[in-house]
Amino acid sequence: MTDIRILYNARCPICRAEIAHYQKRAEATHAPLSFEDLNEADLGDWALTADQAKRRLHAALPDGRIVSGIPAFAAIWSALPGMGWLARLVMAPGVRTVADIAYNRFAAPWLYRRQIRRERQGLAAGDGRA
């Protein structure tokens, strides 16, 4: 199986910690996931601007589609042994609607604003401050 490519912001401490967890599980189980820091990736491959990339999690699926938000998380969870149930749950009708609202209206904008604030303040990527 071709890897599912995950595009995330390694300069965001919360994003970095969550992806590190997934990356560790993927490596331990040989799950078909690869992770790309949007700050080092060729965003042209993703058809995204830097600002668009920073606003949410993205995944490039083996069939060439690029998904973002909850479907990107579901792609990760589907590929990780023992987490497929979570992908199925979050993508279920009704649950998907609530998850999309929570991510799109609250979590993603909040993380984006925090990261923009950190960048404006000139905080370094691994300095421990969130």
Please write the tens of the pLDDT for every residue from 85-115.
999 999 999 999 999 999 999 999 999 999 9
Q: How far apart are CA 14 and CA 108, in angstroms?
A: 11
Q: Indicate if the pLDDT at residue 1 is higher than 70.
A: no
Confidence of residue 24 (pLDDT cuts 50, 70, 90): very high
Q: pLDDT digit string (tens) for 61-89? A: 999 999 999 999 999 999 999 999 999 99
Find out whether 12 and 111 touch, Cβ atoms under 8 Å: yes
pTM for this entry: 0.90
Contact residues for 73 (Cβ-Cβ < 8 A; gap 6+): 57, 87, 90, 103
